[in-house]
Amino acid sequence: MRLLSRREDKFFERLSIPDEAFRKSLKGIVLVLMMAAAFAPHRLSAMTLEQLREDDMLRTSVTVDSNDGLYQRAPFVLVIEVATARWFSRGTRVEDFRIPGAVVRPVSNFADNSSRRINGETWSIQRWRFRVFPREAGILDIPPLELFASVNTATDGTVEGDLKLDPLQVEIQRPAEADDSAPWIATPDLSIEQSWEGELESYIPGDAITRKRRFVVQDAPAMMLESSKVSDIPGLSIYEAPATVSDQSDRGKLVGTREETLVVTFESPGIYHLPGLEYAWFNTDSKEFETISLPALEVEVVASTPQSTEKDKAFHFSISAPVILATIATLVIIAALWLTRGSTISLKLRAAINARRQRRANYQGYLQALRSQNSALCVQLLYGQLPQTDSTLQLREAVKATDLKRKGATAANGENGIERSLELLLEHAYGGGSLMPDQGAAIELWRALSHPSSGDPYLAELHLNPLSSTL
């Protein structure tokens, strides 16, 4: 059996080595090398990241970057470090993970790269950092995390794959004076600003005022800020617009912002106390609780002058009569007023005429506000159209809608009904909505408030401020 082919024999003949014994020795050496290469184990295919770590060619660690104690709701930084005596071919990556009982946010989307001298050698290091916000005090278990790494080795080429990191337990302390029954946050700095829009010297039923609050927290996401709720107050209609939350990160510094809008509409006369705010927060620098106080607002609402009575409605007439008859009727009325000036009937007639003129002016203003998309003015004029009894505005009085179908309107809860029209107006005026109701539906809303029909089968309760939103 020949161990070398004829081609290999010719190769050695071309070498022109005169000594036959030397040629045979050289052939033997080559044969041994070929056999060693054929039966040698393929170490590259067998080498793993775990073997590199066991051979101290790769090091990993999971630590907490904190010189002080760890506190409930206070952020701490979890550091995952990977080091190699060579270099990273495709870098490293920490797989997504969750920690039960905590909120986790990456400090950066990329690893920090550095180097370090270890045992006289320069090691390449990649470090991942995560902010952890423990919700409760006690022992917090950090589960084994998964890490992908791609390492270049001297003898085995590129070795890559996934590694399981060691679990970690940390103790979370509860700050002194912490009260979980009230909202509080742990942060090195917190600021709260409050402003009121629509303040007037005096208020009447139907007026509205808007409260705005802006929370800015350092080293914490906006989701950690709890909303400042307001309890129901009799005589007030409260609408909470959805809060606006945002986070900004600049060179590892996280800033969370929460903005709240609350619209308060006065339903009836009285003195109202709109509460302020007492917000406690744990200062992670001083390790003490601090309180931010926002002032309350006291508002007096006086009764407005009644626009009409039930008897006044009898004088409402159509403008479709011929011009000549309208002129004659006007002259007769003027003559009657002159002859009966000062009488009770004359005074009532004058009040009815003035009320009708005012309603027509309000209606024209309402149409103009619709065309200019002035939803706030539309809502204000709608309040003026609601019936009044003893100078108390009944905002939630049911609107009799028996003749809505006859007039071509859809059902009260339909897509273009009066309830939907009112909702669109309120969202556009106070809640940041972008849609206005179409003109036909908005006019039906005005008519339903101005001329509620008798009967009981079709009742549509109008809420001039929608139910509060859950922030």
pLDDT per position as a tens digit, 241-250: 889 999 988 7
Q: Is the pLDDT of residue 20 over 70?
A: no
At residue 444's C-alpha, the angle toward residues 443 and 448, to 5°, is 120
Nearest Cα residue to 422 out of 227, 237, 210 = 237
d(CA 223, CA 185): 11
Segment 312-331 mean pLDDT: 57
What pLDDT does residue 260 have? 94
Question: What is the structure's pLDDT at 294?
Answer: 93
Please choose, from the candidates 437, 420, 454, 268, the residue with its C-alpha nearest in 3D space to the C-alpha of residue 369. 437
What does pLDDT average to over the chain? 77
442 has a pLDDT exceeding 90: no
Dihedral (Cα; 306, 307, 312, 315), 10-degree rounding: 170
Mean pLDDT over 77-102 rounds to: 93
- In this structure, are residues 207 and 183 in contact, taking their beta carbons and an 8 Å threshold? no
Asked if residue 222 lies in contact with residue 190, where contact means CB atoms within 8 angstroms, the answer is no
Which is higher by pLDDT, 210 or 439? 210
Higher pLDDT: 414 or 373? It is 373
pLDDT of residue 35: 64
Q: Which residue has the higher pLDDT, 295 or 44?
A: 295
With a pLDDT cut of 70, the percent of the chain lying above it is: 71
For residue 161, the surrounding DSSP H or E stretch is: strand 158-164
Q: Which of 172, 211, 174, 187 is nearest to 280 (CA)?
A: 187
State the Cα–Cα distance between residues 421 and 323, nearest whole angstrom. Answer: 35
Is the pLDDT score of 237 beyond 60?
yes
Comparing 341 with 123, the larger pLDDT belongs to 123
The most confident of 72-81, 316-325, 445-454, by mean pLDDT: 72-81
Strands 121-134 and 112-118, bridge-based pairing: antiparallel
- What is the residue whose two structure tokens read 């009982």? 101
Query: Amino acid identity of 380?
Result: Q
Q: How many CB atoms lie within 10 A of CB 409?
A: 22
**Whole-number pLDDT of residue 214:** 95
Give the residue with greater pLDDT, 252 vs 146: 146
